[in-house]
Chains A and B, each alone.
Chain A
Amino acid sequence: MKHIIRKLITGTATVALAFSIGIASAAAKTKVGFVYVGPIGDHGWSYAHNEGRLAVEKAFGDKVKTTYVENVSEGPDAERVIQQLAQSGHGIIFTTSFGFMNPTLKVAKRFPKVKFEHATGFKRAENVATYSGRFYEGRHVIGLIAGKMTKTNTIGYIASFPIPEVVRGINAAYLAARSVNPAVKFKIIWVSTWVDPGKEADAAKALIDQGADVLMQHTDSPAAIQTAEKKGVFAFGQASDMVKFGPKAQLTAIVDDWGPYYVSRVKAVMDGTWKSQDTWDGIGPGMVVMAPFSKRIPENVRAMAAKARDAIASGKLHPFTGPINKQDGSPWLKAGETAQDGALAGMNFYVEGVEGSLPK
């Protein structure tokens, strides 16, 4: 059902796109394409990527022309949309969902002169680069704050799907929370969806009813933060600053800021210096940004969080620094050892202390 709808929507978008390309002037503008998996109004993932697109427009003004297609499903549709963008003279195309990986590579093979950038993937080619954010760095900061702010020693975590990105977030937040509060416990609920506000709110309420007084989420809508606000507990924003939905509840948010990266990559195309590479940037280069810390956080905790944020930015602190054991007690990192990117990219286990079993 959903598939048919997506198809219909993408179909319309593609027609609109073809039309807009038809009337575009053929001046010496660099054309930049963006493909989004969700609506730009999700106030989360796709919204953040679109903010990045707007940053490109702002930085280059008349010298660029950007195009975007939203609500593209991860399948044959994606290939069609990417192909269309490549055919219509786009110099660089950003495909912003994991599931666009193979379609991007397929189209890239047919258009060797067009540059492609695929978010969160791991397959590259001569003209396909990959990029993603080290969101776990942000999870470390919110973990510290949560560990200090909880009075019930119970943190509620609304998780979407057991993919490495989400598991890494849980582990990073838990390790940080435990480091400042050894009694802390994480209650994790998997809701098996990215966006379903009703279910996210139900899960948030269930966690609060079971005694959680700080919520974290790895789903995209602001429903959980809203529920936290209603029930008078704390929460953290996801992907974008959600303070509007929980002025009292939001302690800070992990904000995805793709703007600087998009600007630098578009510039590289203009200058002819673009090369295929893998970028995994965090707080340091500004791809992951912490929203302002709430005044409801005591000053010493705010200072501690800011210090950790800055230490991560400067490379002095790695959220995954040993000794860390896996959940079953087997050693993972030795004292002082930091996790390799490869191990982080494929993380499929809980660290010691997290309760419950990880869904497969």
Chain B
Amino acid sequence: MDLLVLILQGVIVSATSLVFAAIGELVVERAGVLNLGLEGMMVLGAIAGFAVTLDTGSYVVGIAAAAVTGAIAASLFGFLTQILLSNQVATGLALTIFGLGLSALLGQGYSGESTEPLAKIHIFFLSDIPIVGPLMFSHDPLVYLSLALAVGVAWFLAKTRTGLILRAIGENHDAAHAIGYSVVGVRMAALLFGGACAGVGGAYLSTVQTPLWVENITAGRGWIALAIVVFSAWRPGRALLGAYLFGGVTIVQLHVQGFGIDIEAQYLSMLPYLVTILVLVLISHDKARISLNAPACLAKPFFVSS
């Protein structure tokens, strides 16, 4: 039982950076933009978050810097794809490569440094309840922020007028434009939000999970977050589930090895990716449903012809 609690705690830590990145990207895609630069924005957020936390000694400032850095990177993407109408796929890939290179450059003076990990909260009584306490009431504040973010985005998309406009723009940007909504404005806002989330996701890795800087610290998590968005059929609740599923399989495969269960380690390492692919295949088998869920204008350029 105790071990189960410990495993679940590990899953939560492992999944949190993915939750941030996936939820941010989900909003971007619901607005009809495909930003494949997620990995680049995450890694830039990771170095900004680590460097600023180290230099100022404040996590709040560090995480804020990560969010701003992610948003700046996203605004670059937005300028290129929304104003100059460059191809979204190519620009996103370029942003990832750019982010990895720039973060390596900026991080040169920071490898070999370390900060104290962010403290976990402790609520009187609640955190001490067996099982429930350690699982629900004793994480670092960012875990709760990530959950609040998922709930907030779900509410925003489903229940608010602005959320409706954002979805409308993702479904049919010409119609939304015709009735007077600013397609480019809303998309830029969505991109900035997505960039900020990705930055925080990266910073979670470099300041909380492992408070250190190593080049390419995100190690492909941006791509996993992108897969999780498709996996979720663009629904925040499912994206949360997807991130926890991926984190869960990652942690469980490590434990399986620790127990000495006789399965080739390479298969176990593949497992989180295999599960992601499998679920993707399962939810994609119904073409009608997937096309019903996918924003109709995803990755299509928008321009005013007149």
Q: Are B215 and A359 in contact (CB under 8 A)?
A: no
Question: Nearest CB to that of B5 among chain A residues?
Answer: A209
Q: Are B214 and A206 in contact (CB under 8 A)?
A: no
Question: Min CB distance, A126 to chain B, in Å?
Answer: 37
Interface membership of B130, Cβ < 8 A: no
Interface centre among B100, B111, B258 (most CB of A within 10 A): B258
Q: Are B214 and A195 in contact (CB under 8 A)?
A: yes
**Residues 4-31 of chain B, each 1 if its beta carbon lies under 8 Å from chain A, else 0:** 0011001001100100000000000000
Interface membership of A264, Cβ < 8 A: no
Q: Are A201 and B210 in contact (CB under 8 A)?
A: yes
Interface membership of A156, Cβ < 8 A: yes
Interface membership of A353, Cβ < 8 A: no
**Residues 212-247 of chain A, each 1 if its beta carbon lies under 8 Å from chain B, else 0:** 100000000111001100100000000000001100
Count of A-B residue pairs with CB < 8 Å: 136
**Residues 131-175 of chain A, each 1 if its beta carbon lies under 8 Å from chain B, else 0:** 000000000000000000000000010000010000000000000
Q: In residues 182-213 of chain A, which contact B (Cβ within 8 Å)? A: 187-193, 195-203, 205-207, 209-210, 212
Question: Min CB distance, A166 to chain B, in Å?
Answer: 12
Q: Are B10 and A227 in contact (CB under 8 A)?
A: no
Q: Are A197 and B112 in contact (CB under 8 A)?
A: no
Question: Nearest CB to that of A246 among chain B residues?
Answer: B114
Q: Are B251 and A202 in contact (CB under 8 A)?
A: yes
Q: Are B260 and A223 in contact (CB under 8 A)?
A: no
> Given the complex of chains A and B, what is the CA–CA distance between A205 and B101 in angstroms?
30
Q: Are B217 and A198 in contact (CB under 8 A)?
A: yes
**Residues 252-276 of chain B, each 1 if its beta carbon lies under 8 Å from chain A, else 0:** 0011011110101110110000000
Interface membership of A80, Cβ < 8 A: no
> Given the complex of chains A and B, what is the CA–CA distance between A42 and B107 in angstroms?
11
B117: which of A12, A41, A190, A230 is its contact (CB, 8 Å)?
A230
**Residues 231-261 of chain B, each 1 if its beta carbon lies under 8 Å from chain A, else 0:** 0000000000000000000110011011110
Interface membership of B205, Cβ < 8 A: yes
A210: which of B111, B250, B258 is its contact (CB, 8 Å)?
B258
**A360 neighbours in B (Cβ, 8 Å):** 264
B212: which of A39, A192, A222 is its contact (CB, 8 Å)?
A222
Q: Are B211 and A190 in contact (CB under 8 A)?
A: no
Q: In residues 106-123 of chain B, which contact A (Cβ within 8 Å)? A: 107-108, 110-112, 114, 117
Interface membership of A9, Cβ < 8 A: yes
Q: Are B257 and A190 in contact (CB under 8 A)?
A: yes
A4: which of B97, B108, B250, B269 is its contact (CB, 8 Å)?
B97
A198: which of B7, B101, B114, B209 is its contact (CB, 8 Å)?
B209
Q: Are A245 and B114 in contact (CB under 8 A)?
A: yes
Question: Min CB distance, A237 to chain B, in Å?
Answer: 12
Assuming A5-B97, A202-B254, A245-B212, is B10 touching A187 (CB within 8 A)? no
Question: Min CB distance, B79 to chain A, in Å?
Answer: 22
> Given the complex of chains A and B, what is the CA–CA distance between A8 and B111 in angstroms?
21
Interface membership of B1, Cβ < 8 A: no
**B216 neighbours in A (Cβ, 8 Å):** 2, 195
> Given the complex of chains A and B, what is the CA–CA distance between A360 and B264 in angstroms?
8
Q: In residues 21-58 of chain A, which contact B (Cβ within 8 Å)? A: 38-39, 41-43, 47
B interface, CB within 8 angstroms of A:
3, 6-7, 10, 13-14, 17, 96-97, 100-101, 104, 107-108, 110-112, 114, 117, 205, 209-219, 221, 223, 250-251, 254-255, 257-260, 262, 264-266, 268-269
Question: Known pairs A9-B101, A197-B217. 16 more at Cβ < 8 A?
Answer: A5-B100, A42-B111, A47-B112, A189-B258, A191-B269, A197-B209, A198-B219, A199-B219, A203-B254, A209-B255, A222-B114, A223-B210, A245-B114, A356-B260, A357-B262, A359-B264
Q: Which 3 residue pairs across A and B have the least CB separation, nearest first?
A: A41-B111, A190-B265, A206-B254
